[in-house]
């Protein structure tokens, strides 16, 4: 099968999470030239500031220079808006995740955080094409704000969306839920099934989280999966490099209206 690619995506990049990732990234680097997309959080949980950490900035500059992609992943990452008031909000913001920073905030707040994030990237001279909302959750206000900011794409677990019109392009992800033992056991099964089900897709994304690195089963799963994809002839890519090579009229593309 020709032209299948995979994109290795590291979520939640900040000084606080780098110790989790470091040896994993070294191991991947040892497997060859495998570009990665780094989802950078400017100020993780208000207490781990990427852009004030000289070592972190040096690292990210080095990754850029070797062909990796840096994308913006929220600003604080955590949801610290006032408590949810409706059952749906309670589900989304307390049961599903506590990390949906861009779900509850209004247009103005989202705009302000996007502008500040983009400004930090500009200051470092880093190109900025992608915005990925924490927990992939974009509220209505954030969704409208994101259209105005000149980003090339955003994503959720199933799709990449070309901005500003949110044109959906199918690009399934493998993702672990590594928080508890039973979720980790389930994740292995769920992800293996998904990998086989999507084996005809031109792009598969691997969405990695810092917690995956703390458990042998998930960490090993990612290493084994990357090795297997390479053996099967998949080419590694970044999300933006893959997107740049797609025409706007691929058959997988379907227009999705935006609010």
Tell me if 109 contacts Zn ion by CB under 5 A: no
Among 6, 8, 12, 159, the residue binding Zn ion under the rule CB under 5 A is 12
- Specify the stretch interacting with Zn ion by CB under 5 A; choose among 84-92, 115-123, 126-134, 148-156: 126-134
Convert residues 172-211 into a mask of x (bound to Zn ion by CB under 5 A) and - (unbound): ----------------------------------------
Integer Cα distance of 161 and 115 in angstroms: 20
CB of 246 to Zn ion, least distance (A): 25
Closest CB to Zn ion among residues 117, 134: 134
Closest CB to Zn ion among residues 21, 234: 21
CB of 212 to Zn ion, least distance (A): 12
Tell me if 134 contacts Zn ion by CB under 5 A: yes
Tell me if 104 contacts Zn ion by CB under 5 A: no
Closest CB to Zn ion among residues 34, 135: 135
Integer Cα distance of 248 and 160 in angstroms: 13
Closest CB to Zn ion among residues 104, 134: 134
Task: Name the residues that contact Zn ion, by CB under 5 A.
Answer: 11-12, 134
């Amino acid at each position: 099968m020709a032209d299948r690619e995979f994109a290795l995506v590291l979520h939640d990049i900040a000084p606080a999470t780098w110790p989790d990732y470091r040896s994993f990234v070294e191991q991947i680097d040892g497997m060859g030239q495998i570009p990665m997309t780094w989802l950078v959080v400017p100020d993780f949980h208000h207490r781990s500031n990427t852009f004030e950490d000289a070592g972190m900035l040096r690292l990210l500059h080095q990754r850029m220079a070797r062909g990796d992609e840096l994308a913006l992943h929220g600003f604080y990452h955590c949801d610290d808006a006032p408590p949810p008031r409706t059952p749906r909000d309670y589900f989304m913001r307390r049961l599903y995740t506590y990390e949906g920073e861009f779900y509850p905030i209004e247009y103005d707040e989202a705009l302000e955080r996007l502008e500040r994030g983009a400004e930090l990237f500009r200051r470092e001279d880093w190109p900025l094409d992608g915005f990925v909302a924490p927990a992939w959750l974009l509220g209505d206000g954030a969704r409208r704000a994101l259209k105005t900011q000149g980003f090339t794409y955003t994503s959720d677990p199933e799709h990449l969306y070309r901005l500003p019109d949110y044109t959906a392009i199918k690009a399934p992800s493998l993702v672990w839920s590594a928080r508890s033992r039973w979720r980790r056991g389930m994740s292995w099964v769920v992800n293996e099934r998904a990998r086989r089900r999507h084996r005809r897709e031109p792009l598969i994304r691997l969405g990695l989280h810092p917690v995956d690195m703390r458990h042998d089963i998930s960490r090993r799963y990612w290493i084994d999966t990357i090795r297997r994809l390479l053996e099967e002839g998949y080419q590694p890519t970044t999300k933006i490099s893959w997107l740049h090579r797609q025409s706007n009229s691929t058959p997988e593309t379907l227009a999705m209206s935006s609010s």
